Amino acid sequence: MSEKNSKILTERRGHLLVVTINRPEARNSMDKATALEMNAAMDLLDEDDNLYIGIVTGAQGNFSTGADLKALARGERPITEDRGGFGVFRRPPRKPLIAAVEGYALGGGLELCLSCDLIVASRAARMGLTEVRHSVCATGGGLFRLPRRIPYHIAMEVALSGEPREASFYHQHGLVNRLVEPGCALQEAMVLAERLMESAPLALAASKEIIWRSRDWNEEEAWAGQQPIALRAFESEDRREGLAAFAEKRKAVWKGR
């Protein structure tokens, strides 16, 4: 695990990378330095062939309360040139990313969840786009990603009210994948990750990319656009291993290549 004084902790657990926002004294809000470290953690996930899936969580009972308002008052914005806000908003990793949410996920904290592909949340978690209450707009992707994930009128109410809601509300409307007891979000996210990693890592990454890009494709573009992405999995060593494992009735041993 990285140094304890780091604002972002990274821990390898086999082929899984656990990324922890480590600013509990500020409810894991994000300043510039934290965003830069998050950017580096996302680069690590993308670039290391031995890492298949990432989990993002927060230290000591909160996910993230968004941007650090004290840092903003100093004129400091938690944005990186490469991946954008919080070091992930504009360009999330190409590999699957799971949010494990305890406590508050507010403002940019919810937008961080929306930058992930799956969300596991504690029943005690409270989530919301609170920016309008501070005369700010949620420009970290929340205002266009949220209505793609939940019904339009529900997303509009979340954005315009600025009201934090329990995770069960978001689970009811399909944003949260798994709802768990307090203190169990990371554990359940790891269980989910292990289940996903039974499948081939290149196929996981390619499937995510096709789903992600297909939002901007029409039907004809989708048929053509998916092919070069899917070929990365079809032409891999893991594809041959998957066929051999099926024929031999054994569990496949993936290599990520």
Catalytic residue among 131, 198, 209, 220: 131
Local confidence band at 181 (pLDDT 50, 70, 90 cut-offs): very high
The pLDDT mean for the chain works out to 95
* Tokens of residue 41, six digits: 């953690």
Per-residue pLDDT reduced to its tens digit, 67-85: 999 999 999 999 999 999 9
In the numeric block, the tokens 């949010």 are attached to 99
Indicate if 111 belongs to the active site. Answer: yes
Give domain 8-196's CATH number out of 3.40.1050.10, 2.40.30.10, 3.30.1640.10, 3.90.226.10: 3.90.226.10
* Closest among 226, 222, 105 to 175, alpha carbons compared: 105
pLDDT for 236: 87
Catalytic residue among 37, 102, 111, 188: 111
Q: How far apart are CA 29 and CA 85, in angstroms?
A: 12
Which of the pair, 250 or 163, is modelled with greater confidence? 163
3-state secondary structure of 11: strand
**How do the domains of the chain map onto residue ranges?**
8-196, 201-247
Per-residue pLDDT reduced to its tens digit, 34-59: 999 999 999 999 999 999 999 999 99
- Phi and psi angles of residue 10, each rounded to the nearest 5 degrees, phi first: -125, 135
What CA dihedral angle connects 47, 48, 54 and 58, to 10 degrees? Answer: -80
pTM for the full predicted model: 0.95
pLDDT for 245: 84
